[in-house]
Chains A and B, each alone.
Chain A
Amino acid sequence: MLGKLVKFLIVTRFSRPLVAFIFIFLGYSVVMGTLYNSVQTRSSPFFNYYLVGVLVFLIIFMVFLGGVALMKSDLDYLFTLPLKRGEMVISLYLAQFMATGVSFLFAVGYVLPYVSGGLAAKAVMSGDIALLALLVTSLSILSFRLGQREKAMLAAALGVWAVLPLFGISYSYTAIFTGGITIGTVIIIAMNIPANFFAVRQLSDIEIGFLKSASRRSGGEFRTAESFEGLSPDRAIYAHHLSELSLTGRFGIGGSVSVRISRIRLYYLLIPAPLLAFIYLYLAFSEGNSGPVNITVLLGSLYVGIFTSILFAQEVLSHERAWLAFLAMPIWRYWRGLALSKILQTLVIMVPFVVSDAILGLYGFTGALNALIFMGATVPLSPVIVIYFQSRLSVNQIVDTEIMSGQQNLKQVLGLAPILIFSIMAVVSVLSLTGAIAVLCISIGSVAYLVANPRISENMVFSLTEKGFV
């Protein structure tokens, strides 16, 4: 019975190709990780930063967007069946693990080759990573019932805690990546016990939690008000897309997704951006200017670039309304306004990083000037390209606050392809000045082509409409 239930829950939540993809990728990463022993152990902070970064990203992501891999039809059909509670909890946990924890296991393959010491050290590290995967899973379950603010606080606390080892304080769950394997392991185990205890408890009365979270309506009004009265058509577009960032919280991974939309004023982002830019500067200086490239500059540009372009491109189209925007004025004109506001918005946020890069450049850091070009010009242009790619590859319009999305499938994974291209562009840019200029020229050319050619935006709308967009 348990086997059947697990199978049912997984098959209804994930398409078969996606499950196959996950297992093949996982298998590959584990095999590579265990076989790849001959590589010399590196003491470079590259992997420390990389792994801490991945972990912070996943934890914040799961806490914020987490939720239970539950579908509305489960409430109507599955839970009314006479199934054993225990089996239900185990199956739900496994489905959740598929949706969240597995993603962390991918890291195994990339970590193990770099673990110094013998088989024992590798075994401990593997165990730690498995435990972290469980932690990510249980956090995503726990965040299901938290309010927006509680989620933000939890995510912030876990995020700050995670970066402590980079500043020499090793009392953190990320210490396992920075040399403090014992203390890290102890903390991970200590975190797992309560997290999983509460997560399992929550799964055992999941119907109540589901109903509660569905009924806990966020306020019926936005906190801030916008006004477009008396604005010209173009200014209205800028006012709408420049001043505020719409954040979309999705609740429930997999099946029924309930979407909660909140808006933040853009200038709220003006606080964390300089802070992050300062941390970036600090880390770069503490690493020192040696070697062919400063790792902080490289990874900082990569992460900041990817994060910013995704943040500013995220769901811009999902929230757009073709029948309102594209009928009110020529399509190219609306698209141009949208593109320019996104460029400006991103540019403003990147200014502190540009300043940091300029300072590094004055101190003669290699790659700083390249990073400045990348962060100050290429990154601000990127949302336009990302939005265009999304329109052609994968975009779901958010028309309701309760949407019944389909299964998670491989195409959604393919939607991430532009990120890969963008990462390559980031690395090329930072490593060489010629690269940085070439990448910038390509970006300017692409954006100019996308914005200046009316046929492009018209075809974009035709293809969106064919995909069911209205």
Chain B
Amino acid sequence: MSSVTTDCSKSKSFLIDTTKCTGCRGCQVACKQWNQLKGEKTEFFSGEGYQNPPSMSEYTFTRVKFKDYQKHGQNEFAFYKEMCMHCNDPACASVCPVGAFKKTAEGPVVYNADRCIGCRFCMVACPFGIPKYQWSKAFPLVKKCTGCYSRVKSGLEPACATACPTAITYGTRGELLKEAEKRIANRPDRYYKTIYGKEEAGGTSVLYLTHQPLDELGFKPVTSRSLPSYTWQALRFVPGIFLTVGGGLSLVSWFNHRKERVKREEEQRKASAETHNGTE
């Protein structure tokens, strides 16, 4: 949560190899089941591709995006699983006024619903647009992928990773990065050269391998600096500015008041001298 990104190579991460994803959406179903989330009414062709539901929401923490493209004159599909990136230095945690979000040592970024005041700053801050709001409620809270923290703590893998037959590997971030680099080196024709999540937002605990360039697949281009460092570079001056302005103004007013007093005394002296002269 500070401006210095903590070492996350030991914390748990996801490696999602989109070239191996078959679009079965087992992860989507497993996530709904584990988190007891309501089904959503959807319709075909409601979003930019064939995916359903059209976007993530308070009821949908993860979803598989469909993207059609042309390869050697043939229509092909690419799929990618969208979820919370569990950033190493999460923007959502840094902006929350009550510290409701926390990056755990295990890896997942978790949300404490009992603290949240519902200001929605986390939604504005998250570079991946992950936190969603319970718009249907009078007193709404925030909802997002939990990284299956309760499962991870008790030694299990997240529900989606367990359900996935092909594409998701769960492990420590350091190992997964090595694995991803190995795959790229072994099959350079199969993989695009960049690991999404290695640098994005200062590094995330979800890493993607793709075949096509990232922007073609709809991955958001995100700064490689950790986001909280952008606000911290201004906020760290707060105590200094408070003291400077307070002290500076105190000095200025002391000086001006003194000047005034000296002037007044001078005038009084003159006046009394005059009356003195007058009486003589």
Genuine A/B complex: no
| A residues at B contact (CB < 8 Å) | none
